[in-house]
Amino acid sequence: MGYDPNNPMEGRITDLGPRHYSEMLPPVIAANKGKWDYHEILAPGVLVHVAESGDKCFTVRVGSPRLISIEYIRELCDIADKYCKGYLRFTTRNNVEFMTDSKESCDALIADLKGRTTKFPIGGTGASITNIVHTQGWIHCHTPATDASGPVKAVMDDLFEYFGSMVLPAQVRIALACCLNMCGAVHASDIAILGIHRKPPMVDHGRITGVCEIPLAISACPLGAIKPAKAQVDGKEVKSVQVNAERCMFCGNCYTMCPAMPLADPDGDGIAILVGGKVSNSKSMPKFSKLVVPFLPNTPPRWPETVQVIRKIVEVYAKDARKYERIGEWAERIGWEKFFEKCDIPFTDKSIDDYRLAYDTWRTSTQFKFTKATAAYTSK
């Protein structure tokens, strides 16, 4: 028996949930769960966990584009069958991890992976740049202001040397979201790539009454820029909305709620860069990422402007920061004015908060450093 469209509820099974995790654990993991003693990073991308029993679990972490095919996954399965007793896992940043209980099979696995050019690059551990958590982009979403998979590929190509090495002061987490719904980790990453719009939505008066609940569109606006309005369509008066362009900051939330308010635009849309966020509690409390570059154009297929800014930030940070210092900790220690100067990023009024609790982010002190930015005020 299979699905019968004439009897849709017949034989239907629901509420099964996921498969139980215990079916999925490699034997050495199942045997030592909760009894690990310590771990060590043997080489970039290669970890060993040592259990109280003395058992060892070797892990090889490889980068993946996240958007992957059945064929790619079957290839992962072939590798796992060959070296890992038929088990593998994915990480919370969409890397793939192969685990074995012996050094020999671990070495054989590494040799095999290295033999496949850089299809399965080994790395992403320790003070490295690991995979970029990212979103749907033009592959699947209707609200993006930029693509996801393309910019991620361009940035990872450029920073590839940092994936397979551990030369940074601390780990650097990069994330991308293609609009400010921020499906993922953009608001709390060391470096964040964020798709933004710069033009207010258009209103499709001819369709709005048919496709939108107008009060929902109005209440979707964080700045109250939308109000109900009458419009003329083919000589007939219809209920619609009006957008006060002066108050709109192009978030796109009204379009999320109302298909008749599209705002995507080839020239208006692009990328903002935020830096200095983190989620771990190690040393300092979790931090939000902060906007340092308000706009870079969408330049498919390789987004060179975005790639260049990110490399610059990584290189300056790598040279200047102290051991264990995350980008946000470094920027706060040296002062944001120095961050802009050292990274050679022009400061603009777009980085000054003017939303609700903005005042807390202004400098209410005489403590600041003179930089290039203050030159005009220091030359007599």
Partner 1 sequence: MAKHATPLLDELEKGPWPSFVTDMKRQAETHPECWDILGQLELSYKDKITHWKHGGIVGVFGYGGGIVGRYSDVPKRFPGVEHFHTVRIAQPSGLYYSTKNLRGLMDLWDKYGSGMTNMHGSTGDMIFLGTRTENLEPLFWDLTHNLEQDLGGSGSNLRTPSCCLGESRCEWACYDAQDVCHHLTMHYQDEIHRPAFPYKFKFKFSACPNDCVASIARSDFALIGTWKDDIRIDQAAVKEYIAGNYPANAGAHAGRDWGKFDIKKEVLDLCPTGCMWMEGGELKIDNAECTRCMHCINVMPRALKPGKEKGATVCIGAKAPILDGAQFATMVIPFLEVSKENEYENVIDVIEQVWDWWMEVGKNRERVGETMQRVGLPTFLRVMEVEALPQHVKEPRSNPYVFWREEEVEGGWQRDVEEFRRKHNA
Q: Are 41 and 166 in contact (CB under 8 A)?
A: yes
Nearest residue to 289 (alpha-carbon basis) of 279, 281, 280, 297: 279
Q: Which of 72, 294, 337, 338 binds partner 1 (CB under 8 A)?
A: 72
Contact pick of 64, 125, 130, 136 for ligand SF4 (by CB under 6 A): 136
Q: Does 219 bind ligand HEM (CB under 6 A)?
A: no
SS3 4: coil
Angle between the N-to-C axes of helices 327-334 and 336-343, in degrees from 0 to 180, rounded to the nearest 10: 110
- Report in angstroms how near the CB of residue 333 gets to ligand SF4 at its nearest: 17
Binding ligand SF4 (rule: CB under 6 A), the pick from 123, 150, 169, 201 is 201
Q: Which stretch binds partner 1 (CB under 8 A): 87-95, 105-113, 335-343, 372-380?
A: 87-95
Of 48, 67, 220, 238, which one interacts with ligand SF4 (CB under 6 A)? 220
Q: Are 239 and 260 in contact (CB under 8 A)?
A: no
Closest by Cα among 295, 296, 292, 294 to 313: 292
Does position 95 interact with ligand HEM (CB under 6 A)? The reply is: yes
Alpha-carbon dihedral 114, 115, 119, 123, rounded to 10 degrees: 0
139 binds, among ligand HEM, ligand SF4, partner 1, none (CB under 5 to 8 A by kind): partner 1
Q: How many Å apart are CA 69 and CA 75, to the nearest integer?
A: 10
Q: Is 163 exposed, middle or buried (0-12, 13-18, 19+ CB in 10 A)?
A: buried
Cα 96 to Cα 233: distance, rounded to the nearest angstrom: 54
**Using rule CB under 8 A, residue 359 touches partner 1:** no
CB of 300 vs ligand SF4, minimal distance in Å: 16
Of the pair 142, 230, the CB lying nearest partner 1 is at: 142
The residue within the footprint of partner 1, chosen from 45, 60, 61, 63 (CB under 8 A), is 63
Distance CA 61, CA 120 (A): 9
Please report, as residue ranges, which positions from 143 to 162 form the binding site for ligand SF4 (by CB under 6 A).
143-144
Binding site for ligand HEM (CB under 6 A): 39, 91-93, 95, 124, 130-131, 136, 140-143, 173, 181-184, 256, 280, 282
Binding site for ligand SF4 (CB under 6 A): 135-136, 141, 143-144, 177-179, 181-183, 200-201, 220-221, 223, 225-226, 243, 248-254, 263
